Structure formats: structure tokens, C-alpha cells
Structure 1
Amino acid sequence: MNHEQSRDLYDRALSVMPGGVNSAVRAAIEPYPFFVERGDGGHVIDADGNRYVDWVMGLGPLLYGHDLPQPVEAAIQSHASEGPMYGTPTEVEVEHAEFVTRHVPSVEMIRFVNSGTEATVSACRLARAATGRDKIVVMQGGYHGAQESTLVEGDGDAVHPSSPGIPQAFAEQTLTLPFNDKEAAQTLFEEHGDDIAAVLTEPILANYGIVHPVEGYHETLRDLCDDYGSLLVFDEVITGFRVGGLQCAQGKFGIEPDLTTFGKLIGGGFPVGAIGGRAELVEQFTPAGDVFQAGTFSGHPVTMAAGLESLRYAAENDVHDHINDLGDRIREGLTDIVADQAPEYTVAGTDGIFKVLFSRTAPETFDGHCEAGCRQRTDCPRFDHCPKNAADVKAGETDRWRRVFWPKMKDQGIFLAQNQFEAQFVTYAHTREDVEETLEAYKEAL
């Protein structure tokens, strides 16, 4: 493939943007990222005219790929043509809030913001105010946006900031847990329960390799939060309206958190975030309550129209059925390939997300394994080998994935997430032909 235009654009970008990008993960591709010119259904075309099957999909905000259904496109154009924004409430904000509260089990009220990061920042502030406590529990390796309360590393209460520029005092208010470790959660609450404002977790660890919860893990967190008067906060920025359909992952798992943060799909491909939950909590935001939260672009009418019409179309058509069927097909195909060519690797994902984790140990047999993505079944012969948390994913062959495997897939016209940790997304625009082409490329690359 020729990449002269991308190389030249990256050279120019290095002069005016740090690292040549506006989000760090985009620079993970070596020696430089390709620059996308346009999208086409389930594909992207780069600046040099190379065409790729796109499984990145903007890192998650796209439910329909790069071709929007006509009602969604019409709603976006209509609101954009009526004026960019007003600094006042609009009807479409109310309609979108009503749609979400009708479909997501735990959400009685919602506050729209502008990014997933802003949503988790606001959720932490609200949890601290509602409980009168300061400490936030996060999963080790979990990502909840570029915010001071969650950019930490370490074990339990022995943590430190994971980025320069964050005072240690912030990290001292954060506790960490290994995902899927029920015993560690119980011990942490026994030691610090009276100081814990909230547990913040993804229902599926989806920003660090896609790790499914073991049976009873979320129930344990729910019970501990209830026993100690803490709040359970689900970060559904990635899983929201993708895993579990319109009920989100919390509906799929049958767990009702106290608060939920949203992003990506709730905005139909436009910048967005949201915090939803029980009315008695969410109405503590100003102006109804005293917890300050505000934003010039919050509830932007074009974003609200895009998000609402995207979800309405999904509700009225077989969007999630199509996506989930293709997701099962690609994960089943990948499982067959891995069993034959790389039995130490793990196929992960559910519904419309998937990944092959380059884990290092293999079971003696594949009989009875999870056929369409690891579900952490205790009776599966792979159970003791499948990654259970972020540390397990990180211990895999990450350099091989990035330096050898990813370029081989790219050279075959398959665009995968830029590192082993980000999820990959199936959309309504993808086809069985896209899946088959991708599976053939996996066979070659592995």
C-alpha cells in the first residue's frame, strides 16, 4: 500500500500538534498513522485511496457505520440548518431524555454533558456530595476518561497518579481493585467501606482488552455498596446501547447501578456524555440541587437529534439483531481460527464488540469452550487461562500484537483498534462479506 499522503500529513501535523494527533491512541500506529479521507458504510478510505474494512468505528460512537439511516441524517441536517445552538433548552433535549429513561432500567433522570470524561468527572462529584465521603474505587487498568480522580496506578490504597501533572493528593482519594476479584472487593470494603463514596466500574472491562465479569462479581459489588452506603456507578460509555441493546449492559446482566455514565452511542456520532440514575441523586445537580454542573455545549441540539434518532431507528428496526448476529459470526470464526493456529490466544467480546487477546497459556482441550467469546464460565476448559482483569491482558504478547499482527492486518485492508486494549465494534453497516474477508485476514496474519 502507498502511504505518501498520510506520511506528508503526519509530517505537517507534527509541527502544529503534540505527537501529530489530538488523542494519544491515534499515534499508536508505527511509524505513523494513516489519515482517513472519508467513510463508506463499514469501510474507510485513507488519504492515499487505500480502502479498509473498519472495525474501529471512531472507537465506538458509530452504530450505523459511516452511512446514516435517512431519518437520522434528516434530523441532523434539520437541526443544523436551524442554527448551531441557542444557550436555551430545546424540545429535542427533553425527547432524548424521555427516550433514555424509558429504556435504561436504572435511569430516572439524566444530565447531558459533552464527553465521557465529563460524565465520569460529574458522577464522582455527585457521588461524593450525596454520600459525604471522598474515596472512589476503580478497577485496576480501567479507564474512565482523562480525569484526576481515576488516572491512578497501584494496588488498593497504595496508589499514585498515572500521569505527570496530577497531585498525589488526588490519588490518595482513589482505591483500586482487580476486576473480577470478589475477595479483594470484600477486603477493601472491610478496611475502607465507611470512607467509600462510590465504586466506578465498567460492566464489561471494555477499554482494556474486553474482559467479561465472572459470575457474581457485579452482584458482590452491588451488595457491598448497599451494605456500606456507597454508590455503584456503571461506566457505560462504551457498552451503553451496544451491549444489551437499548437496556445497555446493566439490563443484560440484571444489575441496577445507582448512577450510569454514558457517551459515544448516546450522541449518534457527535461529541456527548451523560450521567443518569435515580432521581433523588441526579436532581442534586444544580439548579435543582447544590452540586455544581454546567456546560455551554451540553444538550447541543444537533447532538441530541443525532442521538435520539439513532436510538429511535434502532428501536423500530432490527439493528441490534443484525449487529449481534454478525458479532457472533465473527467471534465464532475467530474461535475456530485460534483453536487451530494459536490456542493460547483468547477470543473476547459479546454482542457488537470483539477482540483476540494475545494471552500466553493454552488449555489441554478446546472441548466445551465458549463458542462466541469468553464468558468466564467456570466449567469451560479455558477458564483458568482466560484473562480475568487488566493485569492479565497486559501480560499478553502486546508487542507482537502491535508490531507484527496489526500491520499484517492493515496490509490486508483490515483496520483494527490501534492497540491490544481497545475494543472493536460491529455496526449495522457491516456485512457477512466484511466478516468473511476479516476472518481470512486473521488466518493469514496469525
Structure 2
Amino acid sequence: MNHENSRELYDRALSVLPGGVNSAVRAAIEPYPFFVQKGDGGHVVDADGNRYVDWVMGLGPLLLGHDLPQPVQSSIQQKASEGPMYGMPTEVEVDLAEFVVRHVPSVEKIRFVNSGTEATTSAVRLARGYTGRNKIVINQGGYHGAQESTLVEGDADNPAPSSAGVPQAFAEHTLPVPFNDQEAVTEVFEEHGDDIAAVLTEPILGNYGIVHPEDGYHDFLREITEEHGSLLIFDEVITGFRVGGLGCAQSEVGVTPDLTTFGKIVGGGFPVGAIGGRAELVEQFAPSGPVFQAGTFSGHPVTMAAGLETLQFAAENDVYGHVGDLGDRLRDGLADIVADQAPEYTVAGTDSMFKVIFTRDGEAPTNGADVKNAETDRWRRVFWGQMKDEGILLSQNQFECQFVSYGHTDEDVERTLEAYKEAL
């Protein structure tokens, strides 16, 4: 494949953008990323005209694919033509809020923001403000955006910033524990229970190769947080309206959190975040409560229209049946290929999420450390490029998830499985 235009664009970008990109993961591809010119259904075309089956889907927001159905596109165009934004309430934000409240078990009220990071930052502030406590329990390998309270590594005894610019004093209020480790959670509550504002967890780790919860794990988190007067926050920025359909992952695991954060699909491919939960909690946000939260672009009418029309289209057109069936075919086919060609690897995912994890022993990972110990360099430096040469676009590293969209076809699945056979 020719990548001359992408190389030239990256050369220009290096002069004006740090690392040549606007989000760090985009630079994971070596020696340089290819630049996308346009999307088409379940495909993207790069700046040199090369066409790929796209399983990145914008890192999750594009449930419907790159070609938006006519009612979705029309609603977006109408709102854009009426004016960029107003800094005032609009009807469509109420419509989307009502839709989410109607379908997600835990959500009685919701506050829309502009990104998943903003949503989790606000949720942590809300938990601290409501409980009057400082500490947050997170899972090692979980990802909750680029915010100070969760850019923390180590363990509960020795938390440390995982990024320059995060003060150690901030990190000391964050207690990282392994995913699926009930004993570790019990220990931090025994030591810090009176000062734990919340447990913040993803229902499924989606930024660490896909790690599934063990049976009873989230039930345990629900019980121990209630016992100690702490909140349980589900970060459904990735899984929201993708796993479990319109009820989100919480409906599938059967656990009702106190707060839920959203992003990606709830904005229909436009910048978005949201915090939903029990009314008494969400009402702690200003102006009805003492926890300050505000944003010029929050509830942006174009984003609200895109999110509402996307979810309504999904509800009325069996979108979840389509993407779930293709996801099952992908995972089943990949499991057969891995069993035959690379039995030390594992296949993970559910609904419209999937990933082959380059584990070393054929055992499915149970926490972030298991994925970190996989052959991450081989995945990124060798395998990703082989798949690209076969015309298949996968997420930029071992850790990011891959997604099926309504724009994908049976042919895309078959072509992808053949490419995996060649690359593995």
C-alpha cells in the first residue's frame, strides 16, 4: 500500500501538534499513523485512497457505522442549520434525557457534558460532595479518562500518579485494586471505609483488552458499598448502549449502581458525556445542589439530536440484533482460528465488542495485569501492520477494544477472519 500522503501529513503535523496527534493513542502506530479521509459504512478510506474494514469505529461511538441512516442525518443537519449553539436550554436535550431515563435502570436524572473524561471527573466530584469523603476505589487497568483522580497506578498501599502533572497529594486519595479481586476490595474498606466516597469501575474493562467480571463481582461491590455508605459508580462510557442494548451493561450484569457515566454512543458520534443516577444524587449538581458543574457546550443541540436519533433508530430497527449476530460470528470464528494456530491466545468480548488478546498461556485474563503481561509489543509492532496490509483496521494497540457497527456486513466478517488466519 502507498502511504505517501499520510507520511507528508504526519510530517506537517509534527511541526504543529505534540507528537503529531491530538490524542496519544493515535501515535501508537509506527512509524506513523495513516490519516483518514472519509468513512463509508463499515469501512474507512485513508488519505492515499486505501480502503479498510474498520473495527475501530471511532473507538466506540459509531454504533450505526460511518453512513448515518437518513432520519439520523436529517435531524443532525436540521439542528446544525438552525444555529451552532445557544448557551440556553433546548427541547432536544430534554427528549434525549427522557429517553435515557426511560431505558437505563439506574438513571432517574441525568446531566449532559462534553466528554467521557468530563463525565467521570464530575461523577467523582459529585460522590465526594454527597458523601463528604475523599477517597475513590478504582480498578488497576480500568480507564476513566484523562483526569487527576484516576491517572493513578500502583496499589492501595502505594498509589502514585501515572502521569506527570498529577500531584502525589491527589493520588493518595485514590485506591487502586485488581479487577475481580474481592479480597483486595474488602481490605481497602476495612482500612479506609469511613473515607471512601465511591467505587468507580467499568462493568467490563474495555480499555485493557476486554476483561470480563467474574460471577458475583459486581454484586459484591454493590453490597460492600451499601454496607459502608459509599457510592457505586459504573463507568459505561464504552459499554453504554453497546452491551446490554438500551439498558446498557448494568442491565446485563443485573446490578444497579448509584451513578453511571456515559459517553460515545449517547452522542451519536459527536463529543458527549453524561452522568446519570438516582435523583437525590444528581440533584446535588448546581444549581439545585452544592456541587459545581457547568459547561458552555453541554447539551449541544447537534450532539443531542445525533444521540437521540441514533438510539431511537437502534430501538426501531433491530440494530442490536444485527451487531450482536456479527459479533458472535467474529468471536466464534476467531476462537476456531486461535485454537488451531495460536492456542496460547484468547478471544474476549460480548455483544458488539471483540478482541484477540495475545496471552501466553491460553487463559482468559481476569485483571489488567494479565493483559499487560501479554505480548503487547508483538500485537502492535508486527500483528497490527500485517492486518493493515490485509485491509483490516484494528485498534491501535493490544489494550483498546474493537467494535462492530450496523454498517458492517457478513462479507466484512468473512474477510476479517481470513485476514486473521494469514496474520496469526
Same fold (TM over 0.5): yes
1:410 aligns with 2:391: no
Question: How much identity, in percent, do the aligned residues show?
Answer: 78
Residue matched to 1:176: 176
- Separation in structure 1 between the aligned mates of residue 251 and residue 2 of structure 2, nearest angstrom: 46
SS in 2 for 1:280: helix
* Paired amino acid for 1:223: E
Q: Is the 8 A contact 1:157 1:174 kept in 2?
A: no
Residue matched to 1:437: 415
SS in 1 for 2:159: strand
Q: Is the 8 A contact 1:232 1:257 kept in 2?
A: yes
Give the Å deviation of 1:188: 1.5
> Counterparts of 1:18-57 in structure 2 under 5 Å?
18-57=18-57
Residue matched to 2:111: 111
Q: Deviations over 1:96-123 (max 9, x none)?
A: 0000000000000000000000000000
> Counterparts of 1:308-387 in structure 2 under 5 Å?
308-362=308-362, 385-387=363-365
- Separation in structure 2 between the aligned mates of residue 343 and residue 184 of structure 1, nearest angstrom: 31
Q: Deviations over 1:319-349 (max 9, x none)?
A: 0000000000000000000000001101000
Give the Å deviation of 1:63: 0.7
> Counterparts of 1:53-132 in structure 2 under 5 Å?
53-132=53-132
- Separation in structure 1 between the aligned mates of residue 165 and residue 156 of structure 2, nearest angstrom: 22
Residue matched to 1:237: 237
* Paired amino acid for 2:43: H
* Paired amino acid for 2:81: S
Question: Which structure 1 segments of 5+ residues have no match?
Answer: 363-384
Give the Å deviation of 1:410: 0.3
- Separation in structure 2 between the aligned mates of residue 346 and residue 235 of structure 1, nearest angstrom: 25
Q: Is the 8 A contact 1:113 1:297 kept in 2?
A: yes
> Counterparts of 1:229-308 in structure 2 under 5 Å?
229-308=229-308
Q: Is the 8 A contact 1:114 1:271 kept in 2?
A: yes
Residue matched to 1:366: none
Q: Is the 8 A contact 2:204 2:211 kept in 1?
A: yes
Q: Deviations over 1:396-440 (max 9, x none)?
A: 000110111110000000000000000000000000100000000
Residue matched to 2:375: 397
- Separation in structure 2 between the aligned mates of residue 183 and residue 81 of structure 1, nearest angstrom: 55
SS in 2 for 1:417: coil
Q: Deviations over 1:191-215 (max 9, x none)?
A: 1111100000000001111001000
> Counterparts of 1:109-258 in structure 2 under 5 Å?
109-258=109-258
Question: Which structure 2 segments of 5+ residues have no match?
Answer: none
Q: Is the 8 A contact 2:348 2:364 kept in 1?
A: no
- Separation in structure 1 between the aligned mates of residue 77 and residue 60 of structure 2, nearest angstrom: 22
SS in 2 for 1:75: helix
What TM-score comes out, normalization by structure 1 length? 0.95
Q: Is the 8 A contact 1:157 1:172 kept in 2?
A: no
- Separation in structure 2 between the aligned mates of residue 274 and residue 288 of structure 1, nearest angstrom: 17
- Separation in structure 2 between the aligned mates of residue 95 and residue 332 of structure 1, nearest angstrom: 38
Give the Å deviation of 1:232: 0.2
Give the Å deviation of 1:186: 1.2
* Paired amino acid for 2:13: A
What TM-score comes out, normalization by structure 2 length? 1.00
Give the Å deviation of 1:171: 0.1
Residue matched to 1:370: none
SS in 1 for 2:271: coil
Residue matched to 1:369: none
Paired residues in the alignment total 424
- Separation in structure 1 between the aligned mates of residue 361 and residue 210 of structure 2, nearest angstrom: 18
- Separation in structure 2 between the aligned mates of residue 138 and residue 118 of structure 1, nearest angstrom: 17
- Separation in structure 1 between the aligned mates of residue 358 and residue 333 of structure 2, nearest angstrom: 16
- Separation in structure 2 between the aligned mates of residue 167 and residue 176 of structure 1, nearest angstrom: 16
Give the Å deviation of 1:185: 1.2
Give the Å deviation of 1:58: 0.5
- Separation in structure 1 between the aligned mates of residue 86 and residue 154 of structure 2, nearest angstrom: 45
- Separation in structure 2 between the aligned mates of residue 278 and residue 102 of structure 1, nearest angstrom: 13
Give the Å deviation of 1:157: 3.1
SS in 2 for 1:188: helix
Q: Which runs of 4+ in 1 moved over 3 A?
A: none
- Separation in structure 2 between the aligned mates of residue 232 and residue 34 of structure 1, nearest angstrom: 40
SS in 1 for 2:154: strand
- Separation in structure 2 between the aligned mates of residue 118 and residue 56 of structure 1, nearest angstrom: 22
* Paired amino acid for 2:374: G
Moved more, 99-108 or 179-188: 179-188
* Paired amino acid for 2:131: T
Q: Is the 8 A contact 1:151 1:163 kept in 2?
A: yes
* Paired amino acid for 1:395: N
